[in-house]
Amino acid sequence: MTEPFDRDRIASFLRAIADGLDGDWLLIGGALVALWLEPRRTTEDLDLVPVSGSREQRLALMSFTEELDLPVEAVNTAADFFLNAIDGWKAETELLIAGSRGRILRPTPTLFILLKMRRLSEQDLADCASAIRAARERGLLLDLPRLTRAIVTLPQTADPHLRKRREALLCLLAGG
């Protein structure tokens, strides 16, 4: 297991990718939270997905990761499964880092919350709260009707804790 990624280590790794690999990459998860929302946050891996979804880009990322003396497990590219379940997700991305060869994108606050809400662990809820706060403070678009519809149409759960977290997310979106 590799040591946790802090904000500086994440930024350095992403800069290397943007300068060393072609294409657009979408950063989501804890690494994004550390760079964009909560500087003290750390993460075990980087959820980084090639926007094109190509197998070749994935393999190039794994090879590049090894060249940087990191285990390939330090990068998770499986999030495209969840991305592709969200209609129009590519229009919900924004530039985070421009490199000499590639770009690192981030989700809009709306897409970020859509990605977190199905699982909605305690950490996911805290991350959503940070995204909502940042959107309001920075004047970023937050599609409240879309997010509210998405939460209320999630499959029912027998988990009372998950139900409470979903209610808490609805309250946060409503301004509470």
The per-residue pLDDT for 158 is: 96
- Whole-angstrom distance, CA of residue 63 vs CA of residue 20: 11
Angle at 175 between CA 173 and CA 176, to 5 degrees: 100
Q: Which two tokens stand for residue 97?
A: 């880092």
- Whole-angstrom distance, CA of residue 24 vs CA of residue 104: 6
pLDDT over threshold 60, residue 1: no
**pLDDT tens track for 32-74:** 999 999 999 999 999 999 999 889 999 999 999 999 988 889 9
- What's the pLDDT band for 3 if we cut at 50, 70, 90? confident
- Answer whether 77's CB lies under 8 Å from 61's CB: yes
Report the predicted TM-score, pTM, of the whole model to 2 decimal places.
0.93
Percent of the chain with pLDDT over 90: 89
